[in-house]
Amino acid sequence: MLLSPADVITIKLSIKLGIYTTVISLLFGGPLAWWLSRRDTFFRRIVASITTMPLVLPPTVLGFYLLVFMGPFGPIGKLFKYFDIKPLPFTFAGLVVASVICSMPFVVQPLRNAFEALGERPLEAAATLGASPLDAFLTVILPQAKPAFLTAGIMSFAHAIGEFGVVLMIGGNIPSVTRVLSMQIYVYVENMEYSRAHVLAGGLVAVAILTMLSIQLLNPKRSTTLIQKSSS
């Protein structure tokens, strides 16, 4: 049998994490990318730098500080304790929060690049026809930025199901709770069960290939630029 019952659980958990991360990242990353694309100010550069920090910060370092902040003695942990809410570390909810933070650059950067490429002309044309700024954004900007949203969603999902360092720090390795694919592979390697590790690792390689192929097919002329700018 290629997949054990534990493998099936981790796959389902990873897909669930990827879906939650993607949806939340798009909901928050879309407006943030739009705001960052409107005007180049020093404050917005600071926000943009913080947003892209997960690209250059070692995942274990990011996970450590998230653990400190969300732990029972951190500011977020103390706030949760005040309202009698269970701390986020070593829970699936904490895993989602950490994954969203790690995936945010892969959402914000492609969307910001797309919004900046569109420029002000579509909004000005919509305004002359009597459209409000919100109507213009929903009916003009969003349809034209659809490929960027699809790219951002695909990249966010793929990154979420393959993340390891932050998952290890925030989620630990709790079966059926926070043990996702990357952690299951790690367990197999530790136990020298390489054949089982190959199956899961090969699956993630296939996801990575499909991710890059999908981005190329969505927008072959701009996809490479979007990816390069997301890493800059």
Distance of CA 64 to the CA centre of its chain: 18
In angstroms, the CA 182 to CA 193 distance is: 14
Range of the domain at 63: 5-230
Specify the number of domains making up the chain.
1
| Model pLDDT, residue 220 | 55
Tell me if residue 73 falls in helix, strand or coil: coil
How far, CA to CA in Å, does 52 sit from each of 143, 215, 232? Answer: 25, 20, 9
138: number of CA atoms within 13 Å, CB side? 5
| Model pLDDT, residue 156 | 94
With beta carbons less than 8 A apart as the criterion, state whether 148 and 226 touch. yes
In angstroms, the CA 81 to CA 65 distance is: 18
How far, CA to CA in Å, does 26 sit from each of 96, 100, 103, 115, 170? Answer: 13, 9, 10, 14, 22
Q: For the domain that residue 91 is a member of, what is the CATH number?
A: 1.10.3720.10
| Model pLDDT, residue 25 | 96
Q: What is the pTM of this model?
A: 0.86
For tokens 């929060």, name the residue.
97
**CA quadruple 10, 160, 84, 73: dihedral sign:** positive
Residue-level pLDDT, tens digit, the chain, 232 residues: 578 889 999 999 999 999 999 999 999 999 999 999 988 889 999 999 999 999 999 998 999 999 999 998 999 999 998 888 888 999 999 999 999 999 999 999 999 999 988 888 887 787 787 777 778 788 888 888 888 999 999 999 999 998 998 988 998 889 999 999 999 999 999 999 999 999 999 999 999 999 888 888 876 555 444 444 444 4
| Model pLDDT, residue 187 | 93
With beta carbons less than 8 A apart as the criterion, state whether 20 and 161 touch. no
